[in-house]
Amino acid sequence: MIRNQWYAVLPSKAVKKGGILSARRLGIDLAFFRTEDGIPGCVADQCTHRGAALSKGKVKGGCIKCPFHGLEFETDGRCRFIPANGISSKEDISRYNVRHYPVREANGILCIWYGDNDLAAGEPPFFGGYIDDTYAYSEIEDHWNSHYSRSIENQLDVVHLPFVHYNTIGKGNKTLVNGPKVIVEGISITTSANNAVDSGQKPKSAEECHINPTFVQFKFPNIWMNNISEKIKVMIYFAPVDNENTILYIRFYCKLSKIRIFNKIVAYFGKFGNRMIERQDKRVVETQIPGASALKSDEKLIPGDRPVVEYRRIREALKREAGQM
């Protein structure tokens, strides 16, 4: 995982007011909870007192309460109360504080900061210039037995389309890869397929290609969008479970009509198309070796892999910046 990043990890609706959800993310067992006022929190799912799972407890007075001995922890991990010590106790109980992960919530997504909490700043990345509240959307999730980097690279791969998706989005036997054109802006990668039927012509260079109206964009560390048209988008956030598992949360956004209920119906049925396509990918991606990708590897890449190379290059640069290399 890349440290010091905001990771989209759960849909907001997964954690109800006054509720707790146990979830493994970023290789860590976490307890997500929401206070009675709707404020989300995320802490390590282990009480500092005797190691019980906090996710088995309850929410009380804005705190998550341990099921074993009743210790109470605020959304920032501070231990507020130890019942056995009594309400009149003046003891400093800061040593019982539990590890917490800063939370940001927007666009119906819960994001957590992974890394040095003192460096947590700003808002998580999103596609605000393309997606807003005027769109209706449906969402599905699927568990892939693959490292999140492999799952992400698949969505930047233009070479696989006529093979993996031969009867869906890759119809037409366009096996020749022109370019592809890739635009890198900060931690954002934009590319599009410009494939053609192979009639013996020489592939066009990236410089000869352009970004099509139907394009894909990825923003580090883990969100991706397919701009199918001005009124139809598909978005995925790849929630890393651990080094071998990823949960894909896949959204179909629609704004075909001024009638919202119509857009909701289209979005509802759109998710079934999303599932069909991602299952085609899943069957292959789960077989890739090694699990995690790397800029320097034994893979023999080709010119059509340029978006994947850019992803790996930026990922390693961010890890180096975070002191991981």
CATH of domain 136-321: 3.90.380.10
The answer to whether residue 229 scores a pLDDT higher than 80 is yes
pLDDT tens-digit map of 98-141: 999 999 999 999 999 999 999 999 999 999 999 999 999 999 99
Are 91 and 81 in contact by the 8 Å Cβ rule? The answer is no
Are 248 and 10 in contact by the 8 Å Cβ rule? The answer is no
Are 7 and 112 in contact by the 8 Å Cβ rule? The answer is yes
pLDDT score for 317: 96
Name 191's bridge partners: 182, 216
CA angle centred on 236, ends 232 and 240, rounded to 5°: 175
Domain ranges of the chain: 5-119, 136-321
Q: Which residues contact 119 (CB under 8 A, 6 or more apart)?
A: 4, 113
For residue 273, give both structure tokens: 């198309």
CB atoms within 10 A of CB 310: 18
> Averaged over 275-304, what is the pLDDT?
96
The answer to whether residue 14 scores a pLDDT higher than 80 is yes
pLDDT tens-digit map of 58-114: 999 999 999 999 999 999 999 999 999 999 998 999 999 999 999 999 999 999 999
pLDDT tens-digit map of 15-29: 999 999 999 999 999
pLDDT tens-digit map of 256-281: 999 999 999 999 999 999 999 999 99
Q: Which residues contact 145 (CB under 8 A, 6 or more apart)?
A: 244, 245, 286
Task: Give me the chain's average pLDDT, please.
Answer: 97
CA pair distance 325, 318, nearest whole angstrom: 10
CA pair distance 194, 211, nearest whole angstrom: 8
pLDDT interval class at 325 (50, 70, 90) = confident
Q: Which of 36, 40, 27, 72 is nearest to 54 (CA)?
A: 72
Are 233 and 199 in contact by the 8 Å Cβ rule? The answer is no
Pairing of strands 215-219, 223-227: antiparallel
pLDDT tens-digit map of 38-48: 999 999 999 99
Q: Which of 257, 4, 268, 311 is nearest to 147 (CA)?
A: 311
Phi, psi of 249 (to 5 degrees): -105, 115
In the sheet that 103-106 helps form, which strands lie side by side, from edge to edge?
5-11, 109-114, 103-106
pLDDT score for 16: 97
Global confidence as pTM: 0.95
Q: Which residues contact 133 (CB under 8 A, 6 or more apart)?
A: none
Q: What percent of the chain has pLDDT over 90?
A: 99
What is the CB-side half-sphere exposure of residue 98 using CA atoms within 13 A?
A: 34
Does residue 217 sit in helix, strand or coil?
strand
CA pair distance 69, 127, nearest whole angstrom: 44
**Helix, strand, coil: what percent of the chain each, to 5?**
25, 30, 45
Q: Which CATH number fits domain 5-119: 2.102.10.10, 2.40.128.630, 2.40.70.10, 3.30.70.1400?
A: 2.102.10.10
